[in-house]
Chains A and B, each alone.
Chain A
């Protein structure tokens, strides 16, 4: 279970998180929606220690991770895997080396087996045979994003954090990616926190949706309750969904 308690974060004069209160239960798929610049990515980065908050408390599975140092976040990062918006793959290393990057200290045989098992899960079976010969620049953007997801999953985190997974993708591919998120979570038993501004897919994929504005939660609920929500921002998002 993840808990954000009255979290504040400021960058210079700009306040990005302004009293964020959020609870994420194990096993659920949570979508955090909001306009650009409302602190969604910043929230995720706090969970893996890329940022430290100014005020408030963050608890992960009973452990207070608010003021841990870099070394302290090592075990946390094995529990929370962040899939970045940009694929962030290493261009000069092969697909195999990229996908097994998180487990590179394990014996080679284990790495190969793990890679072979994981690539089909993210829809990259075609790459499994050539993984030691292909390089990220040779893959399509969609394939790169899937590879990045596989890379994170290989570390076997309990929580998978997705930072805007479908921004910039066409609607058909977006639909596929959201399906993938759902399958991965259910099949591998992961908790998913998805930061997005795609209300349509959120309604179809999420167990629970929260809406963020000005650094705090302004609305939350199941897809059904969100559909009938009275909050202005939520209604704005709903209007953009195709009927």
Chain B
């Protein structure tokens, strides 16, 4: 138990350090933009695929369920809402944790075990400011943008699948969306995207920075990042849904 608490403490300390350094140190725009390009741009194809198929899967599933009630017409709204609120953020985030998170933690981990981080310190530069902070913000921004992109694409995927599987007219599909996927659904999706992004950014940077033990250590750091990201995403998803639901109900949706 104490081990868990001290681990959480270390993470909190690291995170606060990231924020402090972001505010008070010179911003490394070169590092930031190059990371954004490597992480963000290169993840577009996989996000596109994941998004489209996620929307499609959910469309088929919901279609089957609604068919029994003759409520297929509402498929557009229901699928979009369900995907945006729950399934989309989680599936896409899981995939991003694997790609983005693993890439950054592997890179930082390799720099750590080849002494680059120590060398930078000895040359009078703060490695957190120079290497970690730009990567953190690059991961956050990429995650948010990619999640948003993935969710938008999932709507398209759902629409196409609905047409081919259930014969639902795309126009009708889209018209149902405003009725079901109201402002609060979009808000929920945005909050999740931001929170997931921050969690992934922090976890991959922290684990990468703390890597010990050569090549094997790098492998371990990557795996730890993946596992921790999954757990964090699920817990965050739960917390956000639970509490935001509570707030919206209280506000008299």
Query: Residues of A with Cβ closer than 8 Å to B?
Result: 48, 50, 74, 77-78, 81-82, 84-86, 88-90, 92, 101-102, 104, 148, 151-152, 155
Contacts and interface: CB of A to CB of B under 8 A. Distances in A.
Interface stretch (B53-61, B88-96, B112-120, B244-252): B112-120
Contacts of A104: 125
B213 to A, nearest CB: 13
Interface residues of B, number: 12
Interface string B101-125: 0000000000000111011111111
Given A50-B121, A77-B122, A84-B119, 11 more contacts: A50-B122, A77-B121, A78-B124, A82-B119, A86-B115, A88-B114, A88-B116, A92-B34, A101-B123, A102-B124, A152-B122
A102 B123 contact: yes
Interface of B: 34, 114-116, 118-125
29 contacts: A50-B118, A50-B122, A74-B124, A77-B121, A77-B124, A78-B124, A81-B122, A82-B119, A82-B122, A84-B115, A84-B118, A84-B119, A85-B115, A86-B114, A88-B114, A88-B115, A88-B118, A88-B119, A89-B116, A89-B119, A101-B120, A101-B125, A102-B123, A102-B125, A104-B125, A151-B123, A152-B122, A155-B123, A155-B124
Contacts of A101: 120, 123, 125
A155 B122 CA distance: 10
A77 B123 contact: yes
Contacts of A74: 124
Contacts, number: 41
A101 B120 CA distance: 8
A86 B125 CA distance: 19
A74 B121 CA distance: 9
A155 B116 CA distance: 17
Nearest to A155: B123
A5 B250 CA distance: 68
Contacts of A82: 119, 122
A85 B114 CA distance: 9
| B115, B118, B123, B125, most chain A CB atoms within 10 A | B123
Contacts of B116: 88-90
A89 B124 CA distance: 15
Nearest to B110: A91
B103 to A, nearest CB: 13
| A81, A88, A152, most chain B CB atoms within 10 A | A88
Contacts of A81: 122
10 closest A-B pairs by beta carbon, nearest first, are A88-B119, A102-B123, A88-B115, A84-B115, A88-B116, A82-B122, A86-B115, A48-B122, A86-B114, A101-B123
B21 to A, nearest CB: 13
Nearest to B117: A88
A152 B124 CA distance: 11
A42 to B, nearest CB: 13
Nearest to A161: B122
B13 to A, nearest CB: 14
A74 B122 CA distance: 8
A146 to B, nearest CB: 15
A151 B120 CA distance: 11
A78 B118 CA distance: 14
A151 B123 CA distance: 9
A86 B115 CA distance: 7
Contacts of B121: 50, 77
